[in-house]
Amino acid sequence: MSTPASPYQNSYAPSFEGQLAAIERKDKIRGSRIRKEMSEILANPYGNIDFGKGRWRGRRKRRAGTDRVIFVVCKQCRELKHFEFNLCSDCEKTPDETVVWVTIIEDHKY
């Protein structure tokens, strides 16, 4: 998933993997649209910053068609003191240059 140009590494919630796999099985175009957004986030994790609200505090979201990719950039999480929302048990071992893929909000239509 990581692009050679990006120093960022991936960390996936298993449920995120499951969601992406299921979407790709159902609809390859939707799946590749999500992967394209993920690649763009990895290449430029500080572009287009849009945090969730309420229960989604501390996680960022990016639109991929009718889906929303929810993720965390570890360095940003530390700087903004978002640990209280994300609660990663491996925080101390995880490098700043990591993108944590949290979940996909599927097929919202607004």
Partner 1 sequence: MARTNMEKAVDRLLVLYLLHDAFSRNRTNFVQKTKLQKLVFLSEREMIDERNKGFNFYFIKLVHGPFSQELETDLAKLVEVGLVNRRGLEPTERADMIIEDFRDVIERNGPFIKYVNGTNDGFAGVSLEELLDVIYAMSWGKGKTIRDLPPRTPMLFPMKKESVASEFSITDEEAEDLLMNFDPKDVRSLIQATEEMRTGKMRSDEHTGVALSK
CB of 6 to partner 1, least distance (A): 12
CB of 46 to partner 1, least distance (A): 19
Backbone angles phi, psi at 9, to 5 degrees: -110, 165
Quote the CA–CA distance of 29 and 10 in Å, as a whole number: 22
80 is a contact residue toward partner 1 (CB under 8 A): no
One residue of 43, 56, 65, 76 binding partner 1 per CB under 8 A = 56
CB of 66 to partner 1, least distance (A): 11
18 is a contact residue toward partner 1 (CB under 8 A): yes
> What are the DSSP calls for 4-49, one per residue?
TT---EEEE-HHHHHHHHHHHHH-HHHHHHHHHHHHHHHH-TTSS-
CB of 82 to partner 1, least distance (A): 12
Quote the CA–CA distance of 85 and 20 in Å, as a whole number: 23
Query: Taking the CA atoms of the chain, what radius of gyration do you get in angstroms?
Result: 13
73 is a contact residue toward partner 1 (CB under 8 A): no
Which residues of this chain interact with partner 1, rule CB under 8 A?
Answer: 1-2, 9-21, 24, 35, 52-57, 59, 68, 70, 86-90, 100, 102-105, 108-110
